[in-house]
Amino acid sequence: MDLGLSDRTVVVTGGASNLGHGIALAYAREGARVVVADIDEAQAERTTELVRDLGTDAIAVRTDVTDPEQCAAAVNRACEVFGGVDVLVNNAGVGAGTYGYFRDYTVEAAQRVMDLNYWGTFHFCRAVIEPMTAAGGGAIVNIGSSVYERGRADLPVYSSAKAAVVALSRCLALELGPSGIRVNVVAPGFVLPSGVEQIGRSSTKNTATAFNDYRALATGLAPGGGLLNPEDIAGLVTFLGSHRVARGITGKVLVATGGTVFGDEDERLQTTLEALFPSMSESRTEP
Ligand SMILES: NC(=O)c1ccc[n+]([C@@H]2O[C@H](COP(=O)([O-])OP(=O)(O)OC[C@H]3O[C@@H](n4cnc5c(N)ncnc54)[C@H](O)[C@@H]3O)[C@@H](O)[C@H]2O)c1
């Protein structure tokens, strides 16, 4: 099916690695031009090369989504080079130090998790509204997480940030609907690419240990086959970015957790985290 994304421009934050990488390539396969806005310049360049190999255009713009000025500059660059932004995918998220029980969290660590997972989305939404409104509309797809609705003991701040992203998206959908801008959320379960080449140095799965630990965590918590590939989620993100097929959808959350029904994982979470504790504890204390 033709999604009507050919010659449209999409900005993917955190588009260098893992899920963002998969989203960038999925839009490229639909013929869209891609702006990869990521702190990892080297991996962002690799992703843009792969996008160009698919026959469309792409640029990498070094952007730290926690800095509102850099977010505005990335949107301006997209407008200068490609003439506007049709779709914004706020994908950058997770981050070092995300895992940890509430009792262990410092205020500074909590602020870092909120900066990346909530404020980054906030800053990019603010930056894109004006050019999208001037162009007569557009689509924003925010990447949440399935933990936003059920929580997880080891992710108290991240779960809160993702719940805030959902609430913000619903409010923006109401405010921006009259301007022709749709705002939706895709909330995945566990996502990991098949190969480490889709992972750059700023990804949270950037070493063989972290990659394998995450696979073990996902498999331990989601034994029903819940570990998804970036491509599984990227299809939903292109669907929601397409006015042709999703024109009637705004303010919604698509939760995609594969074959896993969550709800009974507390005991498994404890066991799995304890088994993985050495490397998990390192990521908990990183700045
Ligand atoms: N992987 C999963 O299992 C999973 C599950 C649910 C939700 N999600 C969500 O999907 C999104 C992507 O997750 P992922 O697993 O691919 O993450 P990841 O850590 O593997 O990759 C994150 C990407 O964001 C970039 N990034 C990090 N900090 C940044 C910053 N300050 N500014 C700009 N870019 C930055 C990194 O360089 C990297 O390219 C996140 O919003 C995450 O919360 C992921």
Stated pTM of the model = 0.92
Distance CA 124, CA 75 (A): 8
Q: Verify whether residue 214 is a known catalytic residue.
A: no
Ligand 1 atom with least separation from CA of 92:
24
Question: Is the confidence at residue 281, as pLDDT, over 80?
Answer: no
pLDDT value for 267? 59
Ligand 1 atom closest to the Cα of residue 40 is 37
199 confidence band (pLDDT: 50, 70, 90) = confident
Give the C-alpha distances (Å, rounded to integers) separating 194 from 41, 87, 156, 241: 22, 27, 28, 25
Q: pLDDT tens-digit profile of 52-99?
A: 999 999 999 999 999 999 999 999 999 999 999 999 999 999 877 888
| Residue spans of alpha helices (H) in the chain | 18-29, 41-53, 68-82, 107-114, 120-134, 147-150, 156-176, 208-221, 230-241, 243-246, 266-285
pLDDT band at 276 (very low <50, low <70, confident <90, very high): low
In a domain? residue 162: yes
Cβ of 40 less than 6 Å from ligand 1: yes
Q: Which of 27, 99, 118, 158 is catalytic?
A: 158
CA of 210 to the centre of ligand 1 (A): 14
Q: Is the CB of 257 under 6 A from ligand 1?
A: no
Alpha carbon of 250 to ligand 1 centroid (Å)? 23
- pLDDT tens for residues 58-67? 999 999 999 9
Ligand 1 centroid to Cα of residue 141, in Å, is 14
Q: Is residue 78, in this structure, part of any structural domain at all?
A: yes
CATH number of the structural domain spanning residue 127: 3.40.50.720
Instruction: Report the C-alpha gap between 169 and 165 in whole angstroms.
Output: 6
Query: What band does 158 get if pLDDT is binned at 50, 70 and 90?
Result: very high
Between 31 and 257, the more confident residue is 31
* Ligand 1 within 6 A of CB of 93: yes
Q: How many CA atoms are closer than 13 Å to the CA of 174, on its beta-carbon side?
A: 5
Amino acid at 209: T
What pLDDT does 266 receive? 57
Residues 6 or more apart whose Cβ sits within 8 Å of residue 49: none
Predicted local distance difference test score (pLDDT) of residue 277? 47
- Note the Cα 268 to chain centre separation in Å: 26
How open is the CA angle 30-230-17, to the nearest 5 degrees? 95
Closest atom of ligand 1 to 191 CA is 3
Backbone angles phi, psi at 273, to 5 degrees: -65, -40
Q: Is residue 64 within 6 Å of ligand 1 at its C-beta?
A: yes
Q: How many domains does the chain have?
A: 1
**pLDDT band, residue 282 (cuts 50/70/90):** very low
Within a domain: 189:
yes
The interaxial angle of helices 120-134 and 156-176, nearest 10 deg, is: 20
Q: Is residue 4 part of a domain?
A: no
User: How far is residue 19's CA from residue 141's CA, in Å, rounded to a whole number?
Assistant: 13
Regarding the beta carbon of 190 and ligand 1, being less than 6 Å apart is answered: yes
Q: Between the CA of residue 229 and those of 193, 225, 279, what are the distances in Å?
A: 5, 11, 23
**Range 21-43 average pLDDT:** 97
Q: Give the whole-angstrom CA distance, residue 152 versus residue 85.
A: 35
In a domain, 1, yes or no: no
Domain that holds residue 95: 9-285
Structural domain contains residue 209: yes
Distance 178 CA to ligand 1 centre (A): 31
pLDDT confidence of residue 71: 98
Q: How many CA atoms within 13 Å lie on the side-chain side of 8?
A: 26
Inside any domain, residue 3: no
Show Cβ contacts of residue 103 under 8 Å, excluding neighbours closer than 6 positions.
Answer: none
261 is a domain residue = yes
Q: Which atom belonging to ligand 1 lies closest to the Cα atom of 19? A: 16
Cα separation, 115 vs 166, in Å, equals 15
Say if ligand 1 is within 6 A of residue 17 CB: yes
Q: Is the CB of 203 under 6 A from ligand 1?
A: yes
Nearest 5°: phi and psi at 84? 155, 180
pLDDT of residue 261: 58
